[in-house]
Amino acid sequence: MKLVLDQWHTVFEEKLSTAASVKIISPSCSMFTMEILAKYNLLEKSEFITRFSLYDFFVKLSDLKALRLAVENGMRIFGVKHLHCKAYIFNDKEAIISSSNFTWGGMFRNHECGILFNNTEEINELLDYFSLLKNGAAPALSLTDCDKWEQELSFYKADILTPYMMPDYSKEVPVPMNESSTETN
């Protein structure tokens, strides 16, 4: 296990350079980070769990054009409401859990902290969590979805907008609870 602090993009790209596949969980993305995956020919070999919130796209928290590029190149992308975690899994054998979104800011500008690990038991738990989110998510993003959402976004005006006024096409996935995670007070 290794602590990864600030500017962790160097560790991320090092892992991408030897990856045959990547699984990503992040509420947002940017064109810049999708182009990094494209540079390593990983779009077709990757899966991405994110949010399909039109508000996020409208205020540029996430980039719908980046998702379109990824879908055009074979990436399977799934939407989960209330998603906040960030995890990056390489070849189903190594992972980074980080505070960093899959964006330029998360890679280069922000102060971020993460943990790189390759313990088989922990990787398997993270893969199970990825599967739980993916299986409960909205159907994989299509180019038709991108077209529809771009059309919808063209009608919104910034001066009257709140997040609750715009659709979120993600699907709600229940948070798994166990005895140690339930609050009693």
**Residue 90 DSSP class:** E
Helix residue spans in 1-142 (DSSP H) = 9-16, 31-39, 54-58, 64-72, 104, 120-136
Give pLDDT, residue 46. Answer: 96
Work out the number of other CB atoms within 10 angstroms of the CB of residue 103: 23
**pLDDT tens for residues 55-93?**
899 989 999 999 999 999 999 999 999 999 999 999 999
Q: From edge to edge, which strands make up the β-sheet containing 2-5?
A: 2-5, 113-117, 94-98, 87-90, 22-25, 46-50, 76-79
Largest CA-CA distance found in the chain, in angstroms, rounded: 50
Going 42 to 45 to 48 to 54, the CA torsion angle's sign is positive
Question: Confidence class of residue 8 from pLDDT cuts 50, 70 and 90?
Answer: confident
Please tell me the distance from the alpha carbon of residue 19 to that of residue 1, in angstroms, as a whole number.
Answer: 18
- Domains of the chain, first to last: 2-169 (3.30.870.10)
**pLDDT tens for residues 88-131?**
999 999 999 999 999 999 988 888 999 999 999 999 999 999 99
Give pLDDT, residue 176. Answer: 72
